[in-house]
A and B are shown apart, each in its own frame.
Chain A
Amino acid sequence: MTASAPSIERGGLRETHLDWRGLAFHAILLLSLLLSLAILFTLLADVVGRGLPTLLERGGSFLTSPAASNPARAGISQAIFGTLMMAVFVAVFAFPIGILTAIYLEEYAPDNRATRFIAVNIRNLAGVPSVVYGLLGLAIFVIGLEGLTAGRTMIAGGITLAILVLPIVIITSSEAIRAVPQALREAGYGVGASRWEVTRLLVLPAAAPGILTGTVLSLSRALGETAPLVLAGAVLGSFSSGNKDIVDQMFGRYSALPVTVYDWARRPNAEFRELTAAAIVVLLVITLLANAIAIVLRNRTERTW
C-alpha cells in the first residue's frame, strides 16, 4: 500500500471559518429560554394586570369577605382559610409519613425484589393524575369513612391532598437520603455507631436540606390542586361558615383558592373575571411564599462547612 497516512492540515492560529452549526445550536438554546420566559411573563402580566386593580380597589374587604353571588361583595376569606388548612393537613399527614417511609426504604429495608417493587410503584403513584386521587377521596373519605370525616368536609379534602402528595414526598426524600455519600455512613459504622445512630446523627442532618426543599415544594403542588378538591366535596359557590371555631370548621363545608378560581372563572359576568384574576394573584403569592420558606429553611439547615 502506498496510500499516505491521513494528515491534519494546519493553518494559522487565526479563526478562519465560522462554526455555523455550533452557532445555530446556541441560538436555538437561547430562543427556547426566551420563549419560556415570554410565555411566563405574559401570563403573569395578564393576571396581575387584571387582578391588581380589583385587589387595590376592594382592598382588605376582598381578602376578608366570604364567597357571595354578588361580585361586589364576594371575597376569598373562606378560600384562603381552606387553602391554609389544606397546607396544615399536608404538613401533618404527608410530611411525617412520607419522610419516615423514605428513611425506611433507603436505610432499613432489605435490598430485595419486594422493596424494589414497592419503590417502583411509589414512583408510579406519583404519576397518577390528581383527579384519580379526587375519586379516591370521594369514595373513601367522603363516603366510606363518612362517620369519621362527616362527609364533604375540610378533613376529607385535606387528607385527600395529603395522600396526593405523599408519593412525591417519599420520592424527593428518598433521593435526598440516597445522595448522602456512603463514605459518611461507613465512617459512622467504623467507630461503632448503630444504624439508628448513623441514620439520626449523620444521614438525616446531611439529607435535611434536600428533604425540606422537596417537601415544601410538594406542599405548593398540593395548594394548587383543584380537581381532587372538587371531587372530595369542596364547595363551588357560596356557603356559610358562621362563627364556628376551627375544629367545627374542619368538620364543616369548605373551599380553597384554586376551587374558587375555578368556580369564578366559569361565571359569565365580567366582574367575576376580574375577581378570578385577583384570587389567582393571592394564590400565586401564597405559593411563592411557600417556596421562599423552602429556600430559607434549606439555607438554614445546609451546613456552612
Chain B
Amino acid sequence: MSATITAPEPTAPTGDPAIQVAIDSTRVPAMPERTEAAVDLRGVSIYYGAFRAVKDITFDVRPKAITALIGPSGSGKSTLLRSINRMNDLIPGSRLEGEVLYHGQNLYAAGIDPVEVRRRIGMVFQKANPFPKSIYDNVAFGPRVNGMKGNLDDLVEQSLRRAALWDEVKDKLRQSGLALSGGQQQRLCIARAIAVEPEIILMDEPASALDPRSTLQIEELMAELRQRYTIIIVTHNMQQAARASDWTVFMNMGEDRAGYIVERNRTTEIFTNPKDQLTEDYVSGRFG
C-alpha cells in the first residue's frame, strides 16, 4: 500500500539540484522532488518513563537521499533515530507518541511486528559491533534468519562489494570479523545491514570512533549507497553533515531537556543560509 497523502514540503525551497551538484560533483543528481517520503514523522514525542526525551518531531525523510541529524549532546538525535526502526522498544520504559509513517503505515500501530520493521529499516551503530563469527557468517546472518532464498555466496559477495570491503576480505571470508580494523569492521556492519536488502539504513554516528581515513571511506561509501538506499545519519561532526548529506535536521535541547527540531532544510541551505539564529550559531561553532 502507498501513502495517500503526499508528504508536504514545508521548508524546502523549490529544489535547486544545480547548486548541490556544483558543490559536490561526485554526487548523483538529486531525485525528483515530489516523491513519496521514505519515512514521515508526525508529532513524535518519545518518553523514557516519565522523562520526555524528544517532543513534537515532525518531518519527512526524502527517499534515496542522505538526511543528517545534527545538534548538541542531549538533543535526542540518537533517540529519534532509534525510534524509526523501533530499536527503542528494547529499552524498558520507552514509549512513543505520534506517528512514524512508512509507506503510509504507522510503524507504532497495533499488530506491527518490530522484527519485520527492522528488516526493512536497517541500522549501523556508533561502535562497530560485528558478531563473533566469520566475515562470511556476519553478512549471511541476516539473510539466514530472514529465510532469504537464493545463492548466499553471491549475496555475501554483492553486499561486501556494495560496502566497499570485498577486495580487502575476499581471501579471508572464513576469518573472524573481529580481526578486521575498526574501519573495516564498520564497513562489515554496513555490509551486514544491506545484506537483508533494507529500504532505509539508519546510522548512529558511524564514523565517530574511526580515524580520518576510515571516516572518509565511510562517507564515500554513503554517497555510493545513496543511489539505492535512504540513509539517515546522526553525526556530531558538522563537516561530515555538510560534506555527506543532502538534507539536514538541526535539533536542540529545550528548557525542559526535551529535544526538538529547530530547523530542517537542504544541507546547503542549513550551512549557508540558515533561517534560525540558533542554527547559524551552531553550524558556525558558536555553541554545542
Contact = CB atoms under 8 A, between A and B. Distances in A.
A206 B90 CA distance: 19
Contact of B87 (A184, A186, A193, A303): A186
Given A110-B92, A305-B178, A187 B189 contact: yes
B119 interface: yes
Contact of B90 (A110, A189, A197, A201): A189
Contacts of A110: 92
Nearest to A200: B145
Of A184, A189, A206, A303, the most chain B CB neighbours within 10 A belong to: A189
Contacts of B176: 303-305
B90 A111 contact: no
Contacts of B130: 187
B142 A191 contact: yes
Nearest to A110: B92
B116 A187 contact: no
Contact of B131 (A192, A194, A202, A304): A202
A181 B179 CA distance: 18
Interface in B136-162: 141-142, 145-146
17 contacts: A111-B92, A184-B132, A187-B131, A188-B131, A189-B87, A189-B118, A190-B85, A190-B122, A190-B193, A191-B195, A191-B196, A192-B115, A192-B122, A193-B142, A193-B145, A303-B176, A304-B176
B257 interface: no
Interface string A204-236: 011000000000000000000000000000000
A190 B198 CA distance: 11
Contact of A186 (B115, B125, B141): B125
B52 interface: no
A304 B72 CA distance: 40
A183 B177 CA distance: 15
Nearest to B115: A194
A185 B123 CA distance: 13
A111 B85 CA distance: 22
A192 B178 contact: no
B127 interface: yes
Contact of B122 (A183, A191, A197): A191
Contacts of B62: none
A260 to B, nearest CB: 45
